[in-house]
Amino acid sequence: MIELIVMAIFGVVAYVFYKMMLKEPILPWKEKKFMNQIPHQIKRNKKEKA
């Protein structure tokens, strides 16, 4: 039984490490807020440069 707990913990750690390396949000339901900020920031940066 302890082997399953250790494997589950290792799986969670590997998942978090993978998401951090790809710079993606770890929790999938947080992604919508993250994606909405990017186009707004790009538009703002284009206006400031012009």
Model pLDDT, residue 28? 78
Q: Using an 8 Å Cβ cutoff, are 13 and 19 in contact?
A: no
pLDDT in tens, 8-46: 999 999 999 999 999 888 887 765 554 555 555 555 655
pLDDT at 24: 87
Q: Which residues contact 19 (CB under 8 A, 6 or more apart)?
A: 25, 26
pLDDT of residue 31: 57
Say what the pLDDT of residue 16 is: 94
pLDDT at 12: 96
The whole-number pLDDT of residue 30 equals 63
